[in-house]
Amino acid sequence: MKRLDGNNRIAAMLVGIVVTMGALAWAAVPFYSWFCRVTGYGGTPSVRTEAATEILDELVTIRFDANTEPGMPWEFHPVQREMTLKIGETGMAFYEAYNPTDHVVAGTASYNVAPDLAGYYFTKIQCFCFTEQVLQPGERVEMPVVFYVDPELVKDRDAGRIRNITLSYTFYETELPKEQASLSPAKTADYN
């Protein structure tokens, strides 16, 4: 009997380890996402609701990049390839998305900036990437992003000389919202 109790204890410990590892794996993605947003790690821009309070006489060039994941049917590109602004000045750029299919497609954009050190200082005020986008068949839209480069950049010992930043987006297909997913193809065509 003692051997059976020992086996049960080992089995319980192994199950506990598996459950703990699963919980940690589940929590890792949102924690990492939060960490990147807060610190700018991995080129993740910060998000604010207001513009910078200071504008410097130093210029920074922002380049715009657009991608789609394999299998995402949209055509997606920046309307302008680059923009030069004063550090701290608010800029607005547009990206264009087009759904060439005969069905509704939803998508969400992930984003980052390069070089990674600039992520902490690249600040978005408004962005299409904050919400899911839904395009009807044949629909083409221009989507804005409002941003600035924080003047604190110039004080950073490592990032202070950065004057070229690339803002990159990748669109991923997502499930349609329930109200549109339940529409039949014939009704979807009339949804425009």
Please say if the pLDDT value at position 65 is more than 50.
yes
In a domain, 81, yes or no: yes
Q: Rounded to two decimals, what is the model's pTM?
A: 0.70
Distance CA 82, CA 85 (A): 10
CA-closest candidate to residue 128, choices 85, 167, 184: 167
Distance CA 118, CA 42 (A): 9
Mean of per-residue pLDDT scores for the chain:
83
Q: Is the Cβ–Cβ distance between 86 and 57 less than 8 Å?
A: yes
Q: Give the confidence band of 14 by pLDDT, cuts at 50, 70, 90.
A: confident
Q: Give the confidence band of 29 by pLDDT, cuts at 50, 70, 90.
A: very low
In a domain, 189, yes or no: no
Q: Where in the sequence is the domain holding 147, given as residue range(s)?
A: 45-183
**Helices (H), strands (E): how many in the chain?**
3, 10
Q: Which CATH number does the domain housing residue 78 bear?
A: 2.60.370.10
CA distances to 28, 149, 153, 163 from 166, in Å: 27, 12, 15, 10
Distance CA 48, CA 78 (A): 22
pLDDT of residue 108: 94
Q: How many domains does the chain contain in total?
A: 2
